Amino acid sequence: MKALLSIQRGEPDLASRVETFEVTFEPGQSVLDGLRMVRRDRDPSLAFRFSCINANACKECMMLIDGEVEYACTARLKEGTTTLAPLPKKALIRDLVTEIAPPDERLERPLRRK
Partner 1 sequence: MLRQQVTPLETDVLVIGAGGAGMYAALEAAKAGADVILADRSLIGRGGATVMAQMTVAVALGEQTPDHWEHHLTDTLAAGRGLCDEKLAAILCEDGPRRIREMDDWKVGWARENGHIKQVQAPGHDRPRCVYVDFLSTGPAVSKTLRAQLNDTDGVRRIGDLLITDITVCDGEACGATALHVSSGRIVSIAAKAVVIATGGLTRLYRRNSASSNMGGDGYALALRAGAELIDMEFVQFFPIGHLAPRLVGMDPIMWDPFRYKLGGKLLNAEMREFENDYATRDTRSDGRYVLTRDLATYAITKEVEAGRGTPAGGAYLSFQHVSPEEIRRAFGPVVDRLAANGIDLAHQPIEVAPIAHYHMGGIRVSDTLETGIAGLFACGEAIGGANGANRLSGNAITESFVFGARAGHHAARKAKQRPMPSLGAAGAAIDFLRSAEQRDAPNVANSIVALQSLMADYVGPFRTEDKLRIAIDRLAEMTCNLGDRPLASSSDSFDPMLIDWLDLRSMLLVAQAVALPALSRTESRGAHQREDHLGLDDAWQLNQIVAMTDGGLRIKATNEMVAA
Listed ranges 15-23, 28-36, 62-70, 82-90: which one lies at the site for partner 1 (CB under 8 A): 28-36
Listed ranges 15-23, 62-70, 82-90, 104-112: which one lies at the site for partner 1 (CB under 8 A): 104-112
Instruction: Tell me how far apart the alpha carbons of residues 80 and 73 are, in angstroms, rounded to a whole number.
Output: 19
Of 20 and 54, nearer to partner 1 (C-beta) is: 54
Amino acid in the structure at residue 48: F
Amino acid in the structure at residue 4: L
CA angle 11, 49, 52 (to 5 degrees): 180
Of 3 and 73, nearer to partner 1 (C-beta) is: 73
- In 1-114, which ranges are E strands? 2-9, 17-24, 62-65, 68-71, 80-85, 92-94, 97-98
Contact residue for partner 1 among 17, 28, 67, 80 (CB under 8 A): 28
Question: For binding to partner 1 (CB under 8 A), which residues are involved?
Answer: 11, 26-30, 39-41, 44-47, 50-60, 71, 73-74, 76, 93-95, 97, 99-101, 104-107, 109-114
